[in-house]
Amino acid sequence: MSNEPLNPFRREMYDSLESFVDHVSEFFGCPITLEDTHHRVLVYSSHGEETDMARISTIISRKVPEKVINRLWKDGVIPQLLKSKRPIRIEEKKEIGLGNRVAVSIWRGEEVIGYIWAVEINNHLTAQQMKQLEFAAAAGKHLLSRFGKNKAPSSLDNQEFFWRLLTGHVTEQEADVKLNEIGIPLFSHFTIMAFRFESIISKEMERHILYLLKTAEDVKIPFSTIDDNELIILMSAKELRTNPSSTYKKFIQSFPVHLKERFDILHVRGGFGGIYKDFKHVIKSYKEAKTVLEVQEKFPAEAASFHQYQDLGIYQFLDLLLEKRIQDGSENIAIQKLTAYDDRHHTELLMTLEVYLDENESMQKTAARLHIHINTLTYRLKRIAEIMDVNLSAPTQKFMLYLDLKLMRWRKE
């Protein structure tokens, strides 16, 4: 006689996802949640007075809290769910309000299309019940295909519209119709954010990227597209009362970290353009985001402080200023003198000057960055002033030197 437990879940028994989840909950005697692949709640069963904060927060927001998702990634729970078709047990994590749980992935072929979560409040599921939970996942596959709702238009339609938006080929009326179609009113504010990867974004990388975009907590991302090694997204902050700039900076700093920690995708840098309210400024914000990426590439030492177009300061105009310099045929004679001196004597006075100006004339920071003694720096600055015949304490002369040094770097790159 076979020890295989009977299958209590047959897809023909249910007329909705709700009836399925209620039956699973009643059978196992514990609260059940059915989620999609982006950890959004599709259906949930009732629970008694005893439950945990993670489930309450998930039900209220219709989505698993980001702190819970992050912890489950760090602890290897979600990676395991993406590989295994067997239920796995998750031990209590009090610091994030997560009680004991069992989770199983719902597979269609080789693709995960959802999850079933069982909260173990008063008892642990037995080995036989764990096997029966696999039967529930098998039934869930057919029920999700039958009853699952997908109101969003296809991603290809959205990408085409987004490219038209980025290139200025959308009328105001078309934009209104499309935004209303996908349930998004005219933006209170938005920005275009761009990330650049080291290599062409593969299908696997794209899947990981889309996962992170779908599970982002503080921002709305109605449109995204991939162009070779670049990810371009239109973003709006969910909480209108917050400072959108700080929300976007938080995302742009955490996104590459998540790519690295969760998927081992390295060397990703990003920037975002201005924050606007009128959709007509999508093109402007996109160009500004691209400028941030370009400046990061040309000035890697300074790139850590560049996240948004506003951060660039004078770097915003280097391409225009360089064009004017070339048209006028003008050169900074003082910098030419110092460059010639370095070439003849194999010194690094020009680099010393640039670092000194970069560090806002801080002797301590400049010496530390150059790995030299302050007395050595003092001597170098004296020689620089003599060779260039400039007064380094005069603001106008310092500003022009700094600007021309950056223009020279921009031209070399």
State how far the Cα of 186 lies from the Cα of 350, in Å rounded to an integer.
Answer: 51
Categorize the per-residue pLDDT at 241 as very low, low, confident or very high, splitting at 50, 70 and 90: low
Cβ–Cβ contacts within 10 Å for residue 135, how many?
17
Q: Are residues 284 and 366 in the same domain?
A: no
Q: Are residues 224 and 252 in the same domain?
A: yes
Q: Are residues 180 and 275 in the same domain?
A: yes
- Residue 187 or 389, more confident: 389
25: in domain:
yes
Categorize the per-residue pLDDT at 156 as very low, low, confident or very high, splitting at 50, 70 and 90: low
Q: What percent of the chain has pLDDT over 70?
A: 94
Quick one: pLDDT at residue 242? 67
- Provide the number of structural domains found in the chain: 3
State how far the Cα of 55 lies from the Cα of 28, in Å rounded to an integer.
Answer: 17
Per the structure, the complete domain to which residue 375 belongs is given by 331-412
- 3-class SS letters over 137-150: HHHHHHHHHHHCCC
The DSSP annotation for 247-291 comes to HHHHHHHHHHHHHHHHH-----EEEE---BSSGGGHHHHHHHHHH
325: in domain:
no
Q: Are residues 142 and 270 in the same domain?
A: no
Categorize the per-residue pLDDT at 49 as very low, low, confident or very high, splitting at 50, 70 and 90: low
289: in domain:
yes
| Domain closes at, from 86, 115, 147 | 147
Residue 111, phi then psi, degrees to nearest 5: -120, 135
- Residue 1 or 404, more confident: 404
State how far the Cα of 407 lies from the Cα of 335, in Å rounded to an integer.
Answer: 12
320: in domain:
no
Residue range 30-56: mean pLDDT, rounded? 88
Angle at 411 between CA 408 and CA 413, to 5 degrees: 110
Q: Are residues 361 and 300 in the same domain?
A: no
Q: Are residues 168 and 99 in the same domain?
A: no
Q: Say if residues 291 and 309 touch (Cβ distance below 8 Å).
A: yes
Categorize the per-residue pLDDT at 229 as very low, low, confident or very high, splitting at 50, 70 and 90: very high
Quick one: pLDDT at residue 155? 58
315: in domain:
no
Q: Is the pLDDT of residue 26 over 60?
A: yes
Categorize the per-residue pLDDT at 299 as very low, low, confident or very high, splitting at 50, 70 and 90: confident
200: domain CATH number is: 3.30.70
User: In the numeric block, which tokens belong to residue 330?
Assistant: 């003008």
Residue range 49-64: mean pLDDT, rounded? 85
| Domain closes at, from 147, 171, 199 | 147
Q: Are residues 385 and 267 in the same domain?
A: no
Q: Say if residues 193 and 213 touch (Cβ distance below 8 Å).
A: no
Q: Are residues 282 and 340 in the same domain?
A: no
366: domain CATH number is: 1.10.10.2840
Q: Are residues 107 and 188 in the same domain?
A: no
Q: Is the pLDDT of residue 256 over 90?
A: yes
Q: Are residues 112 and 247 in the same domain?
A: no
317: in domain:
no
Q: Is the pLDDT of residue 187 over 70?
A: no
The closest of 248, 232, 239, 316 to 282, measured between CA atoms, is: 232
The closest of 292, 328, 325, 322 to 310, measured between CA atoms, is: 292
Q: Is the pLDDT of residue 153 over 50?
A: no
Quick one: pLDDT at residue 183? 62
pLDDT digits (tens, 9 = 90+) for 77-106: 999 999 999 999 999 999 999 999 999 999
Cβ contacts of residue 283 below 8 Å, gap of 6+?
Answer: 166, 167, 168
4: in domain:
no
